[in-house]
Chains A and B, each alone.
Chain A
Amino acid sequence: MRQAPQPDGTGVFDTAIRDLVLMQENSKSFFSKLGIDTRLLGMIGALVVVWIVFDVITGGRFLTPRNLFNLSVQTASVAVMATGMVFVIVTRHIDLSVGSMLGFIGMTVAALQVQVLPEVFGLGHWSIWIIAAFSAIAMGAMLGAFQGWIIGYLAVPAFIVTLGGFLVYRGAMWWVTKGQTQAPLDTTFRLMGGGAEGTLGETLSWIFGIVAAVAAVVLMLLSRRRKAGHGFAVKPVWAEGILISLAAGLILCFVWVMNSYPIAKGAMKRIARSEGIELTEGMVWYHGVAIPVVILLTVTVVMTIVAQRTRFGRYIYATGGNPEAAELSGINTRLLTVKIFALMGALTGIASIIASARLNAVDVGLGTLDELRVIAAAVIGGTALSGGFGTIYGAVIGALIMQSLQSGMASVGVDAPLQSIVVGIVLVFAVWVDIVYRRRTGQ
Chain B
Amino acid sequence: MDKQTPLVEMKNMRISFGGVHAVDDVSVDLYPGEVVGLLGHNGAGKSTLIKMLSGAYQGTGDIYVNGEKVEIHNPRDARKYNIETIYQTLALADNLDAAANLFLGRELMTPAGTLDDDAMEAETRKIMGRLNPNFQKFSAPVSALSGGQRQSVAIARAVYFNARILIMDEPTAALGPHETQMVAELIQQLKAEGIGIFLIDHDVHAVMELCDRASVMKNGKLVGTVNIPDVTDDDLLGMIILGKTPGEAA
Contacts and interface: CB of A to CB of B under 8 A. Distances in A.
Contact of B91 (A314, A319, A328, A442): A328
Nearest to A313: B115
A141 interface: no
A329 interface: yes
B144 A327 contact: no
Nearest to A233: B139
B94 A322 contact: yes
B95 A310 contact: no
Contact of A321 (B79, B90, B96, B114): B96
Contacts of A328: 54, 56, 75, 85, 87, 91
Interface in B39-74: 54, 56, 74
Nearest to A90: B95
A331 B96 CA distance: 15
A320 B95 contact: yes
B127 to A, nearest CB: 15
B212 interface: no
B143 interface: yes
A329 B104 contact: yes
B95 A388 contact: yes
A325 B143 CA distance: 14
Interface stretch (A110-118, A224-232, A239-247, A344-352): A224-232
Most buried by A among B96, B105, B114: B105
Contacts of A388: 93-95
B75 A330 contact: yes
Contacts of B106: 330
B144 A442 contact: yes
Contacts of B118: 226-227, 229-230, 232
B115 A324 contact: no
Contacts of A326: 93, 104
B114 A310 contact: yes
A325 B141 contact: no
Interface string A381-421: 00000001100000000000000000000000000000000
B76 A325 contact: no
Interface in B97-123: 100, 104-107, 109, 113-115, 118-119, 121-122
Given A309-B115, A330-B76, A318 B104 contact: yes
Contact of B96 (A226, A310, A317): A317
B92 interface: yes
B79 A317 contact: no
B162 interface: no
A317 B141 contact: no
Nearest to A311: B107
A318 B75 contact: no
B97 to A, nearest CB: 11
Contacts of A325: 89-93, 104
Interface residues of B, number: 32
A327 B96 contact: no
Contact of A314 (B79, B90, B107): B107
Interface string B7-24: 000000000000000000
B73 to A, nearest CB: 11
A443 interface: yes
A183 B119 CA distance: 54
B75 A314 contact: no
A305 interface: yes
Contacts of B100: 314, 318
B88 to A, nearest CB: 12
A329 B96 contact: no
A223 to B, nearest CB: 9
A322 B79 contact: no
Contacts of B104: 314, 318, 325-326, 329, 331
Contacts of B141: 443
Contacts of B114: 305, 309-310
Interface string A295-308: 00000000001001
Contacts of B94: 321-322, 388
A317 B104 CA distance: 11
A424 to B, nearest CB: 29
A310 B116 CA distance: 9
A317 B93 contact: yes
Interface in A363-385: none
Contact of B105 (A230, A309, A329): A329
Contacts of B92: 322, 325
Contacts of B107: 311, 314
Contacts of A318: 93, 96, 100, 104
B202 to A, nearest CB: 22
A443 B142 CA distance: 10
A321 B95 contact: yes
A245 B119 CA distance: 28
A148 to B, nearest CB: 20
Given A230-B121, A330-B74, A443-B143, A322 B105 contact: no
A310 to B, nearest CB: 6
Looking at A313, A319, A322, A324, the one whose CB has the most chain B CB atoms below 10 A away is: A322
Among B100, B107, B113, B114, residue most surrounded by chain A Cβ atoms (within 10 Å): B114
A232 B97 CA distance: 15
24 contacts: A230-B118, A230-B119, A231-B122, A232-B118, A310-B113, A311-B107, A311-B109, A314-B115, A317-B95, A318-B93, A320-B95, A321-B96, A322-B92, A325-B91, A326-B93, A328-B85, A329-B104, A330-B74, A330-B76, A330-B79, A330-B106, A388-B94, A442-B144, A443-B95
Given A314-B100, A317-B95, A443-B143, 12 more contacts: A232-B118, A308-B115, A311-B109, A314-B96, A314-B115, A318-B100, A322-B93, A324-B91, A329-B105, A330-B76, A331-B104, A389-B95
Closest 5 CB pairs of A and B: A321-B95, A321-B93, A329-B105, A388-B95, A330-B76
